[in-house]
Amino acid sequence: MAAPKVLIVEDSRSMRELIAAAVDGVGTVETYQAASGFEALKVLPRFRFSLIITDINMPDINGLELINFVKKNPHYRATPLIIVTTEGREVDRARGLALGASEYIIKPFEPATLTEMVRRYLRGPSVSAEM
């Protein structure tokens, strides 16, 4: 059985690596990284992702625009999406969740919190027994 695929969309290289390490803590997972919303739009048609993690503030296409696109795509409409951002205002959180995000995490965050969220969303018949 194939490992679930997770797409991480974040313009900061160090934050992408921190998020990837938290995702890898789940077990057998394939992570893919995009440094911008535009890069993510090029990667999305190539694979079937089980989970998408995105920042909001990015160059070109921001995270909210990306979420809007993803949730309108029939292949990804039901895909869980986690926002990890510095935007801590309630209005930003409400907007992200209204667009279809499953979770909203404010930076800085505890990697273990993200790992547990990823585990929860990937749990199911397609996830490796190593979890």
pLDDT for the residue 83: 97
Confidence (pTM): 0.91
pLDDT band at 9 (very low <50, low <70, confident <90, very high): very high
Q: For 90-128, how does the pLDDT look when each residue is reduced to its tens digit (9 = 90+)? A: 999 999 999 999 999 999 999 999 999 999 999 853 443
Q: What is the CATH number of domain 5-88+99-122?
A: 3.40.50.2300
Q: For 55-97, how does the pLDDT look when each residue is reduced to its tens digit (9 = 90+)? A: 999 989 999 999 999 999 998 999 999 999 999 999 999 999 9
Core vs surface per residue 14-51: b (16+ CB within 10 A) or e = ebbebbbebbeebbebebbbbbbbebbbeebeeeebbb
